[in-house]
């Protein structure tokens, strides 16, 4: 029947290839996805709650209206994905050892999100509320922070970030003393460290 919701609960999906496929009217609860391919697939309107994705590829996946609540991504490739189009009422993630290069979170709420050992090159965090989030050992080369709320965010082990304190809220954000050049880049200073 058209429009009928298909529910999946506590199922494991291993090496399923959804490449270029369209999934509609599906809800996944406490499911595990291992080695699945979502390359250029269409997940518009599907919901994933308390799901874990391991070694999956989400490159260029369409996410309009898709819901992710407590979604855990581990060692996944998530290149060029527009998370700003996801369902804002089901929007909480954690990322471990993932490649999120060229993705966008523009205008979203990502409070207390954990990014651990992730590549976030050229990722757009403009106008994102990242309060109390953690970027642990993340590469932020070219990542964009503009009008972002970065209060209490932990950047102590992050590298290659460029954040302008004039255009972002940084109250109580944590930085390593060895990485402060990421806050001063626009002044083109030569910073030296005494050995």
In angstroms, rounded to a whole number, what is the distance separating the alpha carbons of residues 77 and 99? 5
In angstroms, rounded to a whole number, what is the distance separating the alpha carbons of residues 45 and 82? 14
Domain(s) labelled CATH 2.160.20.80 in the chain stretch across: 17-76+87-93, 104-195
Contacts by 9-13, CB closer than 8 A, 24 or more apart: none
pLDDT at 184 over 90: no
pTM of the model: 0.91
pLDDT at 178 over 90: no
CATH class of 104-195: mainly beta
Interval 107-137: pLDDT, tens: 999 999 999 999 999 999 999 999 999 999 9
Rg (CA), the chain: 18
Provide, rounded to the nearest whole percent, the portion of the chain with pLDDT above 70: 90
In whole angstroms, what separates CA 94 from the centre of its chain?
8
Q: Does domain 17-76+87-93 have CATH number 2.160.20.80?
A: yes
């Amino acid at each position: 029947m058209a429009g009928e919701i298909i529910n999946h609960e506590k199922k494991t999906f291993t090496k399923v290839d959804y490449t270029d496929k369209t999934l509609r009217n599906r809800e996944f609860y406490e499911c595990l996805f291992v080695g699945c391919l979502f390359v250029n697939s269409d997940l518009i309107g599907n919901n994933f709650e308390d799901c874990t994705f391991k070694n999956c590829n989400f490159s260029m996946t369409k996410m309009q209206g898709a819901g992710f609540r407590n979604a855990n991504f581990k060692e996944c490739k998530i290149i060029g994905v527009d998370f700003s189009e996801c369902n804002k009422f089901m929007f909480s993630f954690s990322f471990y050892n993932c490649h999120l290069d060229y993705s966008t979170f523009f205008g979203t709420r990502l409070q207390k999100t954990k990014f651990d050992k992730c590549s976030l090159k050229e990722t757009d965090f403009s106008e994102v509320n990242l309060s109390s989030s953690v970027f642990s050992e993340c590469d932020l080369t070219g990542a964009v922070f503009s009008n972002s709320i970065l209060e209490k965010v932990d950047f102590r082990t992050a590298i290659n970030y460029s954040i302008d304190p004039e255009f972002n809220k940084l109250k109580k954000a944590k930085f390593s003393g060895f990485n402060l050049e990421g806050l001063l880049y626009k002044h083109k200073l030569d910073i030296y460290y005494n050995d």
